[in-house]
Amino acid sequence: MKKPFVTKEQLEEIVKEYPTPFHLYDEKGIRENARKLRQAFSWNKGFKEYFAIKATPNPFILQILKEEGCGADCSSMTELMLSEALGFKENEIMFSSNTTPPEEFVKAKELNSIINLDDFTHIDILKELTGIPKTICCRYNPGGVFTISNGIMDNPGDAKYGFTKEQVIEGYKKLKDLGAEEFGLHSFLASNTVSNEYYPVLAKILFELAVELKEKTGVKIKFINLSGGVGIPYRPEQEPNDILAIGEGVRKAFEEVMIPAGMEDVAIYTELGRFMLAPYGHLVAAAIHEKHIYKEYIGLDACAVDLMRPAMYGAYHHITVAGKENEPCDHMYDITGSLCENNDKFAIDRMLPKIEKGDFIVIHDTGAHGYAMGYNYNGKLKSAELLLREDGSVKLIRRKETPRDYFSTFDFCDVLKDMKY
């Protein structure tokens, strides 16, 4: 059973200053999870987590993770700028992009970040733009279909990312000739896996490739980046990943493949976003409308602007009616927002306690890819982000948008000059 990290009584106090809807993050949970990840990979001297900024691009959250020893995984100019502003330096930043604008390579090189090339043609592009750095990484795509025994399947062959195996081998030779001295290897084969097997299986694939690369190209492999893909149990019946067991599985693969090859000094990197943050964020909304037609609907003051995943993917997010955690779930509802789109639904045919107008609705697991995927369709404005501190206090870490924010890019428009907002 999923339980919120905040009580109805706490919410009643919070809304006195910050009206719903808002995203709320749990500092205590974030820090504990980061420490557990570090513990899981403590056997590897060079281990580092590079938090995927795209999941939760908030400077207060990033500062917490920085204090816990994490680096930053960036995929755009603004993410690089945010990392720079927060004091992430050089090898604390991993830049992984695709179809990359030239100015982003230039910025990444300016920051001396680790550049992770997504395509063979980027070698010449980077050479002409900035020159090849001493440390460089390449993203590997094995193609085909990736499966593991518990039914997880993804299709790297259809993914737009990465080098083929032949391109990686040729690319390392070329990069070495162009002056690169230390190399990383990166790959991402499946998303949101709820399995302790995924990382160990991926790790063994990359470890074996790293040994082959060393033998065929003579390059020095400095690190192997397992990227993301370790997921969370969105549904209450799912068993969560055991990060300690995952770390142990990677260790066994490392000892089986890397140590016999004399590569025991290779560092392990991760780029987790969802695993690091999703369970430690709630979207908190209020029930403001009920509708009785062919189905029973409860309308919230939040909508898909605040959480896009259910509308975009049909993704499941657990819902708790605050203060009614122990009441029977004997009412079936569609939980909706107010967008002029029928897919603006947080839940369909969901069994919940009886909901009355004014109830607080807590939508779970929104700490990653929640606020970050927001938008302004229908002229909707993004909600505030709040941090529940370890001492129980609440800090505003991003104010809610205003009409002035929405109209700000029309500053040149005379029609808007006298608008009252």
The set of catalytic residues is 340
Q: Are strands 281-292 and 296-300 parallel, antiparallel or unpaired?
A: antiparallel
- Residue 405 CA to residue 400 CA, distance in Å, equals 10
How many residues in the chain? 421
Distances (CA, A) of 242 to 32, 43, 246, 358: 14, 16, 6, 37
Query: Cβ distance 150 to 126 under 8 Å?
Result: no
Distance CA 142, CA 167 (A): 11
- Per residue, the 3-state secondary structure of the chain, as one string, reads CCCCCCCHHHHHHHCCCCCCCEEEEEHHHHHHHHHHHHHHCCCCCCCEEEEEHHHCCCHHHHHHHHHCCCEEEECCHHHHHHHHHCCCCHHHEEEECCCCCHHHHHHHHHCCCEEEECCCCHHHHHHHHCCCCCEEEEEECCCCCEECCCCCEECHHHCCCCECHHHHHHHHHHHHHCCCCEEEEEECCCCCECCCCHHHHHHHHHHHHHHHHHHHHCCEEEEEECCCCECCCCCCCCCCCCHHHHHHHHHHHHHHHCCCCCCCCCEEEECCCHHHHHHHEEEEEEEEEEEECCCEEEEECCCCCCCCHHHHHCCCCCEEECCCCCCCCCEEEEEECCCCCCCCEEEEEEEECCCCCCCEEEECCCCCCCHHHCCCHHHCCCCEEEEECCCCCEEEEECCCCHHHHHHHHCCCHHHCCCCC
Amino acid code (one letter) for 403: P
